Amino acid sequence: MSDSDSQDFLSRPQTIRRLWWGFSIVLALTVAAQLVIYVKGYFVVDGWFGFGAVYGFLSCLLMVLAAKALGYFLKKPADFYQQDEDDA
């Protein structure tokens, strides 16, 4: 039994590489579909080519950065829940 057989299906580097390629192709085809399908936006900007992809990416990026900042302010020290020796 080789090393790649002992790993789970989603842990194998080959599977991860294939998933990245597959998802990238699906996303590119979704954006390219806007060349064939007319998108009439409610505002001017949301009718631009690739607006949904850019808006989704920037929204996700903003959520990740906000979560990182929130975690920075809300984190506790590693020994927060441990009692001091003197208090026991």
Q: Do the Cβ atoms of 41 and 22 come closer than 8 Å?
A: no
pTM confidence score: 0.65
pLDDT band of 87, cuts 50, 70, 90:
low
CA distances to 17, 24, 47, 53 from 29, rounded to whole Å, are: 18, 9, 18, 11
pLDDT band of 84, cuts 50, 70, 90:
low
Residue 15: count other Cβ atoms within 10 Å of its Cβ: 14
pLDDT at 5: 58
Q: Do the Cβ atoms of 51 and 45 come closer than 8 Å?
A: yes
Who wins on pLDDT, 15 or 85?
15
